[in-house]
Structure 1
Amino acid sequence: MTNFDTRITNLRHEIEINLLAMKNKKLSDVMFCKLSDDNAELMKELTSIYMKRNEELDMKLEEFISRRNVK
């Protein structure tokens, strides 16, 4: 495994861990309840955007890796 492969793998694991943590409703509730109502709504919106971008990034990484493995 090359250094590049290791970095890609580490990035994927980090993304998966972040997504799992944000999907955990209790964690989100704890995180949001400490914020004012306006900030909590903003944080929920930003979390949603972050999760969507990570899902897109994960698909791009899988596509890149599969193309790289074909060559």
Structure 2
Amino acid sequence: MIPSLAPTRSGAAFVLSSLTPLQVFSGDFLYYAIVFFVLAILAALLGARGIAGMSMEIARILVLIFLVLAVISLLL
């Protein structure tokens, strides 16, 4: 989430409206990873091994991205 810029009372200069720490991600990667994981399980149950494999690989990559961003967020 990027802090928004708000005009000062004079309107000439801009200042940061909030002084919160930088938040790199909002957790959407984990949500989509779970969605792709459930899709992979359903596809595997229905016998669509190709779709199940692709969905599982996408879920794995999204979890890795989530973990990297979580560590970066904790360090900042």
Q: What TM-score, normalized to structure 2?
A: 0.52
Number of matched pairs: 58
Identity %: 5
Q: Please state if 1:57 is matched with 2:69.
A: no
Work out which of the two has the higher radius of gyration on C-alpha atoms and give 1 or 2: 2
Task: List runs of 5+ in structure 2 lacking aligned partners.
Answer: 4-21
Tell me, in whole angstroms, the C-alpha distance in 1 between the residues paired with 2:42 and 2:56: 14
Task: List runs of 5+ in structure 1 lacking aligned partners.
Answer: none
Q: What TM-score, normalized to structure 1?
A: 0.55
* Greater RCO structure (CA 8 Å; 6+ sep): 1
Query: Which of the two has greater strand per residue?
Result: 2
Aligned alpha-carbon RMSD (Å) = 3.2
Query: Which of the two has greater helix per residue?
Result: 1
